[in-house]
Structure 1
Amino acid sequence: MSTVLAAQKALIGRGFTGPVSVRIEDGRIADVTETANGDVASGLLTPGLVDIQVNGAFGTDFAEIDNDGMRRIVRNLPRTGVTRFLPTLITADLDRIVEQARAVLAAVSTVNGYGARSLGVHLEGPFLSPKRPGVHDPSLMVAPTPERIEAVLELRDALRMVTLAPELPGGFEAVQRLTEAGVLVAVGHTDATGAETTKAADLGAQMITHLFNAQRGLGHREPGVPGVALVDDRYTLGLIADLAHVGADACRLVFKAAGDRVALVTDAVAAAGMPPGVYRLGGADVLLSDDGVPRSAEGTIAGSALTLDRAIRNVISIGVDPVTAFRAATVVPADTIGETALGRIEPGALADLVLWDDELRPSKAWVEGKLVYDAETAEPDTTLPPHREAAGQPS
């Protein structure tokens, strides 16, 4: 059975064009024509968004996942334009983080067909530098010894990405071993020098986790992680564009320097899509206040409450070309994680699609050709869990 979606404008390759008709067969795009017959939807048609760093959302933390929580996440992510996501787990005891990953995978197996689809798991720890912990617990960080790397590789094909600090003892060997096993290695929470960042790329590392955040900074003689990342074409740069983690001018700099190597990520926590209150991240409480930025009890930024559609609108609002902004949330992260059937509108690609209104807000979303969100008929989600109010915070 085939269906046809027609839109006034669509993101095809490196530009907007239209009108466009997209024919879908068996969950994939069969053909794309730059004509439109019959009902033509107003707005912009793009590939579904791909978020490759998300710790939780809609009141649920992946470190404490259950079937109901996973169902809430996959049902609500399409409201934000996301059709594929990579659950991310932060630093914990090694055995514990592997258990958490297995729990995520078990929960995912119960929700196929409900909405957005998971791409596996991303371990953001425990192979990180205590010198650059962010909100992670430095007491739980360990060196990536061969035995520990083999332990995480027991997750097999479900392990899609590992963030590590390559300068740790055994770090460079870990980069090479993980790369050989088909796992995307990202440099993050690291005090690596520019030379060490380059060496990590030589051995197979391909991504920088949340550029500028929790890493050795850019200097005019010692380039640190950002300096190398901005000029080394082997790296994709993960960017949290909530304009709090990275300011507007720095975001503009990143796009001017790296262009099609920027992957917008949310680094979202359970607070994303929720009102101010207290939420969980990796077993600890974080406070989402009225400024929209989650923080630990000590005041450290703890992930984000960002959604990927808002990240796109944010970077467009500061002057980034809209085509580049949408590519940074579709084809760039898809290609980085090795999912070449995602993030594009072309024959053979999976029919993950989003229709955007004139204010660049998702109005409809499809996953493999199935409509999973329609703003005209969607009702508020009454299954979202209650949140705890912080002492002294407005209700």
Structure 2
Amino acid sequence: MTFKLTGGRIFTGGVFVKEDLYLEGDRILQIGGSAPFDASEDVSGSRIVPGFIDTHIHGGLGVDFVQGMPALEKLSRTFPAQGLTGYLPTITGPHNEMKKAVADVRTAMKMDLGSRVLGAHVEGPFLNPKRKGALNAGSLETPDLDSLVDLIGRGEGVAKMTVAPELPGAEKIIRYLAAHGVIASIGHTVATSEIAEKSIAWGVTHATHLFNAMEPMHHRKGGVLPVVLSRPEVVCELVSDLIHVEPAMIQLALHCKKGRINVVTDAMEATGQPDGDYVLSGQKVLVRDGIARLEAGNLASSTLTMDQALRNLVQKMGLPLESVLPLLSEVPADLLGRRDLGRIRPGALADLLVLDDKLTLRSTYVGARKVFER
């Protein structure tokens, strides 16, 4: 079946063009021109953009991905309402619970649930307790290769793992991840600049929630930040709720990385829920005015959604829409090695969003199938 979206402005090649968009099967057939079609929809006045991909999200609507399949099924069906067409469920917690959750992610990757499950992000257990953030210190471990293999096997279904490279034994962990096609991400760390540089040689290609759970940058003791900001091979996550990172620092990161930023939510189970008391990594989280904190005051993930992340950067910070959209789509797709996602071009999977002029989501398509309509 060939389906035509007509009247919209399509984001392709870094610019918007006013053309018809043809979809065939689950993919994009062509942009502009003419072709026979079986059905069409008029989206005049709207923007058609690639679906968003979140590589760091713990949960929402009262559930956490460490709970496995029930959370995966519930959230995959509701994420399209936030513009999220693909994601990495982020798993943290006790070893055995994470192991089971990783197995459930492998299963969910083969299922049609709504938003695509693109692999697990395992945040822990090889993290530095000095920079644990909102994670539970009781679930952290000293890096051990046998423990890693027990947790993730040969990396099947695991897209990314966050590791603190300064811990004894971390080099073996990072090299194993890189050898098995798992993105090694530096985070929850007190690494020096020297160790951060070494970790890139071992296989680190990513930084988890840039600026957060890292040592602050000092001109005589730079730490991780100047290394990951200056090395083009490292992609950096950024939580753009304007709480985790202030606008001036976001501007700095964007300037340094020249587009090598992937926007994430780091959202937890309170997302989409009212203020109240919740749980993250076995710890009580207080959500007040939409801000999630531990009782001790540490930020505890966020209640951000990807569509709001877009509006924060464009409407509140004044950044050009054309420069922001790839940070939520193309950059994370490329990070995952998925050139068939995150862009609008012939042959790519038709994971699309239709936005109005206020950047409010009108509809979401996954594989050319409409899965949300406002």
State TM-score, norm by structure 1: 0.89
Q: Quick one: distance in 2 between partners of 1:280 and 1:34? A: 52
Which residue of the partner structure matches residue 130 of structure 1? 129
Checking the alignment, whether the CA contact within 8 Å between 1:9 and 1:44 is kept in structure 2 is yes
In structure 2, what is the equivalent of residue 221 of structure 1?
Answer: 220
Structure 2: distance between partners of 1:355 and 1:288? 31
Deviation at 1:34, TM superposition (A): 6.8
What SS does the corresponding residue of 1:173 show, helix, strand or coil? helix
Structure 2: give runs of 5+ residues left out of the alignment. none
Whole-Å separation in 1 of the counterparts to 2:350 and 2:97: 36
Task: Tell me, in whole angstroms, the C-alpha distance in 2 between the residues paired with 1:261 and 1:339.
Answer: 16
Q: 2:227 aligns to what SS in structure 1?
A: helix
SS at match of 1:286: strand
Equivalence for 2:5: 5
- 1:93 Cα deviation after fit: 2.9
Cα distance in 2, alignment partners of residues 38 and 45 from structure 1:
12
For residues 346-395 of structure 1, the C-alpha deviation after alignment (integer angstroms, 9 at most, x for no partner) is 111110000001110111100000000010xxxxxxxxxxxxxxxxxxxx
Q: Counterparts of 1:216 and 1:225 in 2: how far apart (Å)?
A: 7
Return the alpha-carbon distance in structure 1 between the equivalents of residues 41 and 74 of structure 2. Answer: 35
Cα distance in 2 for partners of 1:49, 1:7 equals: 22
User: Contact conserved, 1:294 with 1:305, CA < 8 A, in 2?
Assistant: yes
Please say if 1:178 is aligned against 2:177: yes
Other-structure match for 1:335: 334
Percent identity for Structure 1 against Structure 2: 34
Residues 1-395 of structure 1 aligned to structure 2 (within 5 Å):
1-16=1-16, 18-33=17-32, 39-67=42-70, 69-90=71-92, 92-106=93-107, 112-154=111-153, 156-290=155-289, 292-316=290-314, 317-375=316-374
Partners in 2 of 1:6 and 1:143 — Cα distance?
A: 56
- Gaps of at least 5 residues in structure 1 are 376-395
Q: Answer yes or no: is the 8 Å Cα contact 1:63–1:283 preserved in 2.
A: no
Letter in 1 for 2:2: S
1:306 shift after superposition: 0.3
Query: C-alpha displacement at 1:97, in angstroms?
Result: 1.5
Structure 1 residue 105, shift from structure 2 partner: 4.2
Query: How many angstroms apart in 2 are the aligned matches of 1:151 and 1:10?
Result: 45
Report the Cα distance in structure 1 between the residues aligned to 2:348 and 2:194, rounded to whole angstroms: 38
Query: Matches of 1:155 and 1:26 in 2, distance apart?
Result: 33
Shift of the 224–34 alpha-carbon distance from structure 1 to 2, 3 Å rule, reads farther
Task: Give the deviation of 1:35 after TM superposition.
Answer: 8.1
What is the alpha-carbon distance in structure 2 between the residues aligned to residue 232 and residue 321 of structure 1?
24
Q: Note the alpha carbon deviations across 1:193-246, whole angstroms, 9 max, x for none.
A: 112112111222111000000012211122211111111101111000111110
Aligned-residue offset at 1:139: 3.1
Give how far 1:64 is off: 2.2
Q: Give the aligned residue type for 2:80.
A: P
SS of 2:159's equivalent in the other structure is strand
Measure, in 1, the Cα distance between the counterparts of 2:285 and 2:357. 34
1:357 and 1:322 map into 2 onto residues whose CA distance is 13
Secondary structure of 1:3 counterpart = strand
Secondary structure of residue in 2 paired with 1:29: strand
Q: Do the aligned partners of residues 2 and 165 (structure 1) sit closer, same or farther apart at CA in structure 2, a change above 3 Å counting?
A: same
Q: Which range is displaced more, 36-45 or 326-335?
A: 36-45
Q: Quick one: distance in 1 between partners of 2:344 and 2:302?
A: 29
- Shift of the 107–39 alpha-carbon distance from structure 1 to 2, 3 Å rule, reads closer
Letter in 1 for 2:296: E
Structure 2 distance, partners of 1:258, 1:340, is 20
Q: Is the 8 A contact 1:166 1:172 kept in 2?
A: yes
The C-alpha deviation readout for 1:110-168, integer Å capped at 9, x for no partner, is: xx434211112110000101111101122321122221222233164201110000111
3-state secondary structure, aligned to 1:332: helix
Provide the aligned length of Structure 1 versus Structure 2: 369
What is the alpha-carbon distance in structure 1 between the residues aligned to residue 325 and residue 33 of structure 2? 20
Q: In structure 2, what is the Cα distance between the partners aligned to 1:325 and 1:331? A: 10
How much is the aligned-residue C-alpha RMSD, in angstroms? 1.9
SS at match of 1:157: coil
Q: Distance in 2 between matches of 1:310 and 1:35?
A: 35
Please give the secondary structure, in 2, of the residue aligned with 1:197: helix
Q: What do residues 85-117 of structure 1 show as CA deviations (whole Å, max 9, x unaligned)?
A: 100012x332332123224444666xx434211
Taking structure 1 as reference, are residues 40 and 142 closer, same or farther at Cα in structure 2, changes over 3 Å only? closer
* Cα distance in structure 1, aligned partners of 2:249 and 2:82: 25
Cα–Cα, structure 1 residues 40 and 306, in superposed 2: closer, same or farther, change >3 Å? closer
Structure 1 pair 321/35, CA: closer, same or farther in 2 (3 Å)? farther
In the alignment, residue 199 of structure 1 is paired with which amino acid?
K
